[in-house]
Structure 1
Amino acid sequence: MGRHLSTFLLLFLFTNSVFSWKKDEFRNCNQTPFCKRARSRKPGSCSLIAYDVSISDGDLVAKLIAKQSSEDISEGQTRPTKPLVLTISAYQDGVMRMKIDEDQSLSPRKKRFEVPDVIEPGFLNKKLWLQRLKEDKSENGPMFVVYLSEGYEAVVRHDPFEVFVREGGENGKKVLSLNSNGLFDFEQLREKEEGEDWHENFRSHTDKRPYGSQSISFDVSFYDADFVYGIPEHATSLALNPTRGPGVEFSEPYRLFNLDVFEYVHDSPFGLYGSIPFMISHGKSRGSSGFFWLNAAEMQIDVLGTGWNDENSSVLMLPSDQKRVDTLWMSEAGVVDAFFFVGPGPKDVVRQYTSVTGAPAMPQLFATAYHQCRWNYRDEEDVFNVDAKFDEHDIPYDVLWLDIEHTDGKKYFTWDRMLFPNPEEMQKKLAGKGRRMVTIVDPHIKRDDSYYIHKEASEKGYYVRDSTGKDFDGWCWPGSSSYLDMLNPEIRSWWAEKFSYENYVGSTPSLYIWNDMNEPSVFNGPEVTMPRDALHYGDVEHRDLHNAYGYYFHMATANGLVKRGDGKDRPFVLSRAFFPGSQRHGAIWTGDNTADWDQLRVSVPMLLTLGLTGISFSGADVGGFFGNPDTELLVRWYQLGAYYPFFRAHAHHDTKRREPWLFGERNTEIIKESIRVRYMLLPYYYTLFREANASGIPVIRPLWMEFPTDEKTFSNDEAFMVGNSILVQGIFTERAKHVDVYLPGDQLWYDMKTGTAYKGGVTHKLEALEESIPSFQRAGTIIPRKDRSRRSSTQMENDPYTLVIALNSSKAAEGELYIDDGKSFEFQQGAYIHRRFTFSNGKLTSTNIASATAAPHKFASHCTIERIIVVGLSPDPKTALVEPGNHKADVERGPLLLRGGPGPSSVLTIRKPNVNIADDWTIAIL
């Protein structure tokens, strides 16, 4: 303890202000000059026109210049701005890319930063070469039109400048537009004039700003939209509330600036740990569209409420019969590199967005199960005691986590050998039960000359530099620390090598990684992060790439685990900071939440928003990181968290221990059942993760993604869909006696615990049961399960399956099952099984739906189906005939769906049909 005392005292001085939310520690819009300037602009203030419009190299290219700077300017007039270059490109599947930058031929002071390594390389091969430019007339002058994709056109208006996508034809309705309200502004780089002060100050920090103001702002409109969603990360409702306009209660924009915020508050537009500048709209009449701005600088976004600009309505260039949602996007730096997604369905937009930024990585199977974490499990004895208690109470888990205290003096890739003298043996003991470990590795490197990572990084010049060119020195958990410059591919490659078994002494193949504090967190920095004038690879300022720093760190760590296994095994890396493309590298969690009911509730819209923006593998700390949840809250959190895509319990070191068996026998049983429900559903979840990996469609979904015309779902963020088959309703109030559950659609829903049928399109007032939260299977679906209780997912590998069939009004249903080896990349070479189950006319059929390139001989499963549960079949059949083989299976009534009580008479079970999960077969109910 003594050797850490002085460091602790210094850290306390720097970090006391960040251990809880303090609003004045962080900037608001009025304290952020670029935001304040952009918000002060009036509609119609943009003077740019588009001219010299042509097709070049398959793109539409134009110059943007102020009206008074066009070719016919009067002699003696000066040009108030240099021309900007506009480029529009079309891509397959309804994606339009628009870039606006300074004209490099006019030699600006520097090349503005464009974010590398985010766009999926394969996307660029999907470019459609524009062939023909046509000109339409309008009241405001010419419009230049190009074919975008089937049924859609891209249009550039000459005066005033506007870009929009419309449905095909001169009278086609608009889908998305930029600068329809005339708010576009682009601050160009220029020479400093005498007497100008380019410094900006916040509290005790000064930002030198060597290039002056270089901000960009513009309005984006979404047509025929009822709501807009997206732009995580904020602890707010799923449908984004207006931030400006009549009756708006708060006036701060949604901020995108990665920050280490302790005990963040709910219902706030304040930015948190990650930033994804992607927004998706949805409305009943048309469906969905999306807009993405690839920019890693600080961003602020206003959602403009109805009537926000009534006094300026004359400047609008909109047909009066087309409703819209207007938004204002503001960034400190960078370029305009924006993508328009035409939809029209919500799943189409998500597919289009992930075609640009990449589909989510396919996780290992163990990672989709339950994780147990705490800051910190003290030593090896503590680890083994916790592990043994899970077995004693017959509670499954797959991963035990170690926080920063496991290291030697908070130096990553090391072990405190007093507390963890035999890390390899410890990991192997857990691995013997099919369990893994995760250790934390953060981006701050302790400045200690005896620490080999620091010594090597310092000698090689691998650290981010301060504005004077010296290694940046900031404070984090180890005290004086420097931060690796992950923008540099060479440094990312060097970092990846540190995860080899030779370099990370004490690691084994069952050890995986957690990246925390990678916003980056700097305790003595402005807003608890790195100064904006710090310098990266290529003399890029930190202001340009701040929001992507954690993304590059996550990427390098994931690549390290792939290299460690010679490219054979999929990595598992959890990251707190994120950016577009993070889904390609691993899981995300919502950071330092608090043990209260509001935080439980807000976890649902936060995770749904992440899913909409590509990040399917996400979760919130079950129980809340800060504070001590009462027993009821903890139980309710486990019941909800069992349905999160990433299911982990975690707690701060100042909280009381809260392992599942510490709250009395009754509550231990309820928590155990919640965890077991997740294990039963692992085959279904794994199938959904494969769907996300193939298409980008998230594992958990807003109700409106599955029911896009049901207006009652558009602002519902207390319930969610797991895939297309399961609806989950959380319970978010203490001592609740009843819970209202809206079940969308016109089909039936079946209670997953009892099989009781409920009508869709109705809000049901249900009893709030102590032992579970409401969950329902949608009629017309089939869910695969594994019902045998084991210690871990690994030990379930050869267990038989159960199929749960929920029949619709036509007495039909369908579902899928995806299986691979659960760990390697061989599925990419076709080593997997993919089956579709269809029930129709009293017959269940299993068919192969693997792609034509699949090679199922590379992966085989000998698992069988031990039970088939059919819900909603009213006749009383006597037997079931299995083909091939022409043998009969027993049929009986009445088992429950999930553990807990007798099922209704409409629940039928076929026992031991003895068919292989990988084969073609049919089972006819007679």
Structure 2
Amino acid sequence: MTGFARLIGIGFLASTLGSGFAAAQGWQHLGKVQRVEKLKDGVELTAGPAKVRVAVFRDGVFRVRVAPNGTFPKDSSWAVIESPEPPAFKIEENPKEIRFTAGNLVATIQRSPLLINFSDAAGSVLLADEPSLPMAWDGQQIHTWKKMPLDENYYGLGDKAGPMNRRNRAFTNWNTDAFGWQESTDPLYKTIPFFMGLRKGVAYGLFFDNTYRSGFDFGKESADYFSFGAEGGELNYYFIAGPEPKKIIEQYTALTGRAPLPPLWTLGYQQCRYSYYPEARVREIARLLREKKIPADTIYLDIDYQEGYAPFTINRQYFPAFEKMVADLSEKGFHVIAITDLHIKRFPDHGYAPFDSGIKNDVFVKNPDGSVYVGPVWPGESVFPDFTLTRVRDWWGGLYKDFVGMGLAGFWNDMNEPAVFRYPEKTMPLDVVHRLDDGTTLDHRAIHNIFGMENARATYDGLRKLQPDERPFVLTRAAYSGAQRYAATWTGDNLATWNHISMSTPTLLSMGLSGYPLVGDDIGGFGSSPPSDL
């Protein structure tokens, strides 16, 4: 049984048999508030060994953090870029509760057991802890349960398949290479742990800022409550009052960043398939598009333009005049986007600069024993830049210098979940080591879901340095909340079927509702051949 399945199972038993049984099984729920300390932005509550902070982050935005052992970790986030500016607030106490008012939003904290409810100034409850299941932890796992009104619906979570309303379903966030995904496929390529609840025309938002494998259950476990949690990291969430969905997305994207204005040509039709080669075929596609008067602004080059699928190389057998081809296409109004997967071919003593310079500069992800991690991907044995380090992102961005000089207009960061041809995991081992700028390290459990975003960040920042007067265009397959600051995205490896056409619109709309506006999909399908009527 997986960790999350075990977590859900224990939660179900806790709800039916009581918190004592849950504790016997390993769950430790928050108990009685024993101490209240007022902070400059809210309150810190002590309940047994745990501490809980409830703070007003900005007008209409509260933040909740839980430290099961009483010690809060360093306050950092890959997603949040907005600094806190707490408005004026008032705290009132009585023997039963602490009432925390900021503007038109009220957080009411019950003392025994510790439960948190959010309501508007008129007293209408917007979000409330499930009384029978206070916030809890079990080893490294953390979880919280919320009341679920019968007429409340839920939207968001990014590129989740199926109906836009998430109610009565459960979801896992773990960026996954999911070829040919269907309505029931989960997880998919992205982790966007943000959703909106909507009831009687009043909405709120919730962002669970946790990069570990996480789960959201909107009533599959119980008709009385929904829940969310993660296999590690901090129970750390933001409550956004709204009450209009438009206002919530505005506040959420202020928190995590907004997509920069893209180049105008990216809003036109983009022609892509796996894969156009040799050079004559690319020229033929461009000629046919113009001859048939099919508007098109972009042609993509997939991995076959590379030598042995090694990123930042050119297969001169297929593309002997690559630079001239790019220039000729540009004259015809085509912008060329080239794929640059994040894996670097392990190719010592062959003059392959990305590998040689990477080894020299110590930029690759390590095994626990300090050796460089090597995994199989398209080029064969490959190594992976440690994008959690600023200096590595700077190194990666510099690799685009020659391609930018050739006139390539944008870059496509694929396979960055990260996908590795290891089965069934399809990614790096969970114990590989990622280094941070402050000298500490984290394993892949903590970094997996932000690895693709940091890859796109490195590409975007590198292009900004190489072409400061140009708007970069980066396309990423994997993402975490905040990736909209760096890259457009698409829905991954769909199929040429009527079913996938029908799934495309709700999936794209859900991305927009999740703060990711520049999105698309393979309209004609990536895999399989279409039926005659399609």
Q: In the superposition, relative to structure 1, how do residues 222 and 491 fare at CA in structure 2: closer, same or farther (>3 Å)?
A: farther
How far apart are 1:126 and its partner, in Å? Answer: 2.8
Amino acid at match of 1:550: G
Deviations 1:514-536 (A, max 9, x none): 01110000111552111211111
Secondary structure at the counterpart of residue 507 of structure 2 = helix
The equivalent residue for 1:747 is none
Deviations 1:711-735 (A, max 9, x none): xxxxxxxxxxxxxxxxxxxxxxxxx
Matches within 5 A, 1:419-458: 419-449=318-348, 450=350, 451-458=352-359
How far apart are 1:128 and its partner, in Å? Answer: 2.6
Match of 2:50 among 80, 84, 87: 84
- Segment drifting more, 620-629 vs 218-227: 218-227
The equivalent residue for 2:499 is 598
Amino acid at match of 1:367: T
How far apart are 1:148 and its partner, in Å? Answer: 2.2
Deviations 1:538-571 (A, max 9, x none): 2201101211111111111111111110x21111
Amino acid at match of 2:32: I
Greater relative contact order structure (CA < 8 Å, 6+ sep) = 2
2:289 aligned with 1:390: yes
The equivalent residue for 1:166 is 119
The equivalent residue for 2:460 is 558
Instruction: Tell whether the 8 Å contact from 1:525 to 1:531 is kept in structure 2 after alignment.
Output: no
Q: In the superposition, relative to structure 1, how do residues 31 and 221 fare at CA in structure 2: closer, same or farther (>3 Å)?
A: closer
Deviations 1:40-82 (A, max 9, x none): 43265235222311321232211232xxxxxxxxxxxxxxxxx
2:143 aligned with 1:217: yes
Structure 2: distance between partners of 1:499 and 1:426: 18
Amino acid at match of 2:62: M
Secondary structure at the counterpart of residue 472 of structure 1 = coil
Match of 2:85 among 122, 126, 129: 126
Matches within 5 A, 1:48-63: 48-63=31-46
Q: In the superposition, relative to structure 1, how do residues 223 and 128 fare at CA in structure 2: closer, same or farther (>3 Å)?
A: farther
Matches within 5 A, 1:660-809: none
Secondary structure at the counterpart of residue 354 of structure 1 = helix
The equivalent residue for 1:541 is 443
The equivalent residue for 1:97 is 63
The equivalent residue for 2:475 is 574
The equivalent residue for 2:26 is none
The equivalent residue for 1:727 is none
Structure 1: distance between partners of 2:148 and 2:37: 27
With the length of structure 1 as denominator, give the TM-score of the two structures: 0.54
2:260 aligned with 1:361: yes
2:287 aligned with 1:328: no
The equivalent residue for 1:619 is 520
Q: In the superposition, relative to structure 1, how do residues 40 and 541 fare at CA in structure 2: closer, same or farther (>3 Å)?
A: farther
Q: Whose radius of gyration is greater, 1 or 2?
A: 1
Secondary structure at the counterpart of residue 518 of structure 1 = coil
How far apart are 1:225 and its partner, in Å? Answer: 4.9
How far apart are 1:220 and its partner, in Å? Answer: 2.8
How far apart are 1:617 and its partner, in Å? Answer: 0.8
The equivalent residue for 1:295 is 210
With the length of structure 2 as denominator, give the TM-score of the two structures: 0.92
Deviations 1:118-163 (A, max 9, x none): 212xx21533354x32024xxxx521112223x2111211111111
The equivalent residue for 2:25 is none
Instruction: Tell whether the 8 Å contact from 1:277 to 1:292 is kept in structure 2 after alignment.
Output: yes
Instruction: Tell whether the 8 Å contact from 2:50 to 2:70 is kept in structure 1 after alignment.
Output: no
How far apart are 1:485 and its partner, in Å? Answer: 1.0
Q: In the superposition, relative to structure 1, how do residues 114 and 577 fare at CA in structure 2: closer, same or farther (>3 Å)?
A: farther
Structure 1: distance between partners of 2:5 and 2:448: 16
Matches within 5 A, 1:170-189: 172-187=123-138
2:177 aligned with 1:260: yes
Q: In the superposition, relative to structure 1, how do residues 477 and 392 fare at CA in structure 2: closer, same or farther (>3 Å)?
A: same
Give the number of equivalent residue pairs. 518
The equivalent residue for 2:24 is none
Instruction: Tell whether the 8 Å contact from 1:532 to 1:542 is kept in structure 2 after alignment.
Output: yes
2:396 aligned with 1:470: no
Secondary structure at the counterpart of residue 527 of structure 1 = coil
Q: In the superposition, relative to structure 1, how do residues 448 and 40 fare at CA in structure 2: closer, same or farther (>3 Å)?
A: farther
Structure 2: distance between partners of 1:389 and 1:115: 51
How far apart are 1:366 and its partner, in Å? Answer: 0.4
The equivalent residue for 2:15 is 42
2:419 aligned with 1:521: yes
The equivalent residue for 2:245 is 346
Structure 2: distance between partners of 1:39 and 1:497: 51
Secondary structure at the counterpart of residue 133 of structure 1 = strand
How far apart are 1:474 and its partner, in Å? Answer: 1.0
How far apart are 1:232 and its partner, in Å? Answer: 2.7
- Segment drifting more, 491-500 vs 392-401: 491-500
The equivalent residue for 1:281 is 197
The equivalent residue for 1:145 is 99
Instruction: Tell whether the 8 Å contact from 1:34 to 1:331 is kept in structure 2 after alignment.
Output: no
Amino acid at match of 1:86: V
Deviations 1:866-915 (A, max 9, x none): xxxxxxxxxxxxxxxxxxxxxxxxxxxxxxxxxxxxxxxxxxxxxxxxxx
Amino acid at match of 1:589: W
Instruction: Tell whether the 8 Å contact from 1:161 to 1:179 is kept in structure 2 after alignment.
Output: no
Structure 1: distance between partners of 2:321 and 2:10: 58
Amino acid at match of 1:541: D
Instruction: Tell whether the 8 Å contact from 1:176 to 1:223 is kept in structure 2 after alignment.
Output: no
Instruction: Tell whether the 8 Å contact from 2:511 to 2:519 is kept in structure 1 after alignment.
Output: yes
Secondary structure at the counterpart of residue 154 of structure 2 = strand
Q: In the superposition, relative to structure 1, how do residues 183 and 134 fare at CA in structure 2: closer, same or farther (>3 Å)?
A: closer
Matches within 5 A, 1:312-327: 326-327=225-226
Structure 2: distance between partners of 1:55 and 1:605: 44
How far apart are 1:438 and its partner, in Å? Answer: 0.5
Instruction: Tell whether the 8 Å contact from 2:30 to 2:136 is kept in structure 1 after alignment.
Output: no
Identity %: 28
Instruction: Tell whether the 8 Å contact from 2:61 to 2:240 is kept in structure 1 after alignment.
Output: yes
Structure 1: distance between partners of 2:499 and 2:406: 40
The equivalent residue for 1:116 is 77
Q: In the superposition, relative to structure 1, how do residues 390 and 362 fare at CA in structure 2: closer, same or farther (>3 Å)?
A: same
Structure 1: distance between partners of 2:209 and 2:263: 29
How far apart are 1:233 and its partner, in Å? Answer: 2.8
Instruction: Tell whether the 8 Å contact from 2:477 to 2:492 is kept in structure 1 after alignment.
Output: yes
Instruction: Tell whether the 8 Å contact from 1:226 to 1:282 is kept in structure 2 after alignment.
Output: yes
Structure 1: distance between partners of 2:65 and 2:288: 57
Amino acid at match of 2:258: A
How far apart are 1:103 and its partner, in Å? Answer: 5.0
Deviations 1:392-417 (A, max 9, x none): 11111000000011001111111001
Amino acid at match of 2:194: F
Q: In the superposition, relative to structure 1, how do residues 491 and 30 fare at CA in structure 2: closer, same or farther (>3 Å)?
A: closer
